[in-house]
Amino acid sequence: MSFLLAIDQGTTGSTSLLIDAKNFTVIDKEKIDYRQIYPKPSWVEHDLEDIWNSVSQSISTLLKRRNVDTKKIIAIGITNQRETTCAYDKKGKPLHHAIVWQDRRTSAYCDERRADYNKVCQKKTGLPLDSYFSGTKMRWFLDNIPAVKVANDVGDLLMSTVDTFLLYRLTNCKSYATEASNASRTLLMNLETFNWDNDLLNFFGIDRQVLPEIKESFTNFGVTQGCSFLPDGIPILSILGDQQAALFGQACVHVGDIKCTYGTGAFLLLNIGEKIIHSQTGLLTTAAYSFKGKKIYALEGAAYIAGAAVQFLRDNLKTIQHSSDVEPLAREVKDLSQMEHVLFMPFFTGIGTPYWNSEAKAAILGLTRGTTNAHIARACLEGIALSVNDSVTSFKKDFSHLNDIRVDGGAAANDLLMQMQSNFSQKNILRPEVIDTTAYGVAMGAMVGRGEINIEDLSKYWKLQKEFKQESNNYYSKKKDLWDNSIKKLFF
């Protein structure tokens, strides 16, 4: 038996998947969580050594538990939290904590420069100027961290997303590269060329020399060297940002295919093929993947908070003991008329698509003396589904044809949430057998990189576990209207 190893470096932990390279079944997985660092309100950081240790520990634990002959690992794929930004020297030593995609410290910088950015840059990047993206975080490093300034002055600075940092460490500092799905999230890559753009670099004051080479998504990025937990010489053949990896793992390789990943936040990608479409409704235009000279694009919608809303019920309100408890609690609500005015607006870190309001705050509205924990639990799930539906509504306005929505991520296991999503969005929801599709996607990408499967054949390996069909109920359309009107009144 030969194996594929997929590394999924996520926002709260690192997961390793071991996959049978012959029939593409998941053999086992191991996740190691690591600490979240909150130096100030709205600041979120990760220690790069924590990230590296979580990756190495997840791999070593997984391989030891399965007693794997490491010589039979034929390829590695890497997927990662995308916009989280790293600064380190050429020996791979971190110069500061990574600034996480959720971090809002550069909001004032964005407000000051947005008008100029919109004139020069937005069409090139497909993205708004927002603290979400990496370029603003790189600028903050250069302006505020002495060690980064010094390294930049002496030519010893590297700045990248997490994929590149892991690749650099895995190859013993030999390979410094990324690919378009990650590079397109920096505000520094030109969508048409899939290369760093001089106008964008000049706008942010970033030297091209500190950035990695942009390669195609499925190619030889280098081989392992000097790792205590892996032998030398294993090729790393696939890298994708987490949401694009999920798109690929869901076999969404045809125009009109759409996926939604429910994690800490919820992110939707719509495959729009080889033509760039600039959204008129607040969606992002981004790179999906590139291979053999072909550039594939996607429209993206983002809800910053999804699973994290359930964690709020668990950790802050103490209404549930485990995240999985939210579904049975929400199902206790039998009379939907009691829910008509109850809204849970999960905007703990602002609103994403289509409003992009970083100052919005979360709220629970419409409570009465009769409101129970069950009503709040159901409202929480509705709030997640309604946030996601805002992106679906934008997709429908910008694009003529949408296929059924394929779902993945932890919260996709919640049947009630999936049925709500179908009802609010008026689309069928398809849940596959493998919901770890982020890691699965880069494993499949590694086989594409090896030349053993074709991208067009991915659908052969995608298997449906359950379909949720849309139901007609006036309750859902009324709730959508209440949601839309409440957002406009509260935040605009």
Q: Is the pLDDT of residue 226 over 90?
A: yes
What is the model's pLDDT at position 208?
A: 97
What number does CATH give the domain 251-492? 3.30.420.40
What is the model's pLDDT at position 23?
A: 87
What is the model's pLDDT at position 249?
A: 94
What does residue 56 show for φ and ψ, rounded to 5 degrees? -65, -40
173, burial (CB in 10 Å: exposed 0-12, middle 13-18, buried 19+): middle
pLDDT in tens, 335-390: 999 999 999 999 998 898 999 887 899 999 999 999 999 999 999 999 999 999 99
Q: Residue 421 corresponds to which tokens in the numbers above?
A: 């999503």
Terminal Cα distance for the chain, rounded? 58
pLDDT in tens, 273-293: 999 999 999 899 999 999 999
What is the model's pLDDT at position 435?
A: 81
pLDDT in tens, 303-340: 989 999 999 999 999 999 999 999 999 999 999 999 99
128-147: average pLDDT: 95
Q: Is the pLDDT of residue 298 over 90?
A: yes
What gap in Å lies between CA 297 and CA 231, rounded to an integer?
36
What gap in Å lies between CA 472 and CA 481, rounded to an integer?
16
What number does CATH give the domain 3-234? 3.30.420.40
What gap in Å lies between CA 74 and CA 437, rounded to an integer?
20
Residue with tokens 């929480």: 380
Q: Residue 478 corresponds to which tokens in the numbers above?
A: 């009324």
What gap in Å lies between CA 124 and CA 285, rounded to an integer?
10
DSSP letters, 141-164, are: HHHH-HHHHHHHHTT-EEEEEHHH
What is the model's pLDDT at position 33?
A: 93
Residues of the chain within CATH 3.30.420.40 domain(s) are 3-234, 251-492
What is the model's pLDDT at position 473?
A: 87
8 A C-beta contact, residue 185 and residue 286: yes
- 43: phi > 0 → left, psi -120 to 50 → alpha, else beta; which? beta
What is the model's pLDDT at position 402?
A: 93
Q: Which residues fall within 8 angstroms of residue 109, CB to CB, at 6 or more apart?
A: 131, 136, 139, 140
What count of Cα atoms within 13 Å lies in the side-chain half-sphere of residue 336?
Answer: 9
Least confident of 84-88, 447-451, 456-460, 473-477: 456-460
Collapsed DSSP state (helix, strand, coil) of residue 246 = helix
What gap in Å lies between CA 209 and CA 197, rounded to an integer?
13
What's the DSSP call for residue 35?
A: -
Q: Residue 475 corresponds to which tokens in the numbers above?
A: 């309750």
DSSP letters, 402-446, are: --PEEEESGGGG-HHHHHHHHHHHTS-EEEES---HHHHHHHHHH
What is the model's pLDDT at position 358?
A: 78
45-54: average pLDDT: 98
What is the model's pLDDT at position 189?
A: 97
Among candidate residues 252, 80, 295, 265, the one with its CA nearest the CA of residue 170:
80
Q: Is the pLDDT of residue 116 over 90?
A: yes
Whole-prediction pTM: 0.92
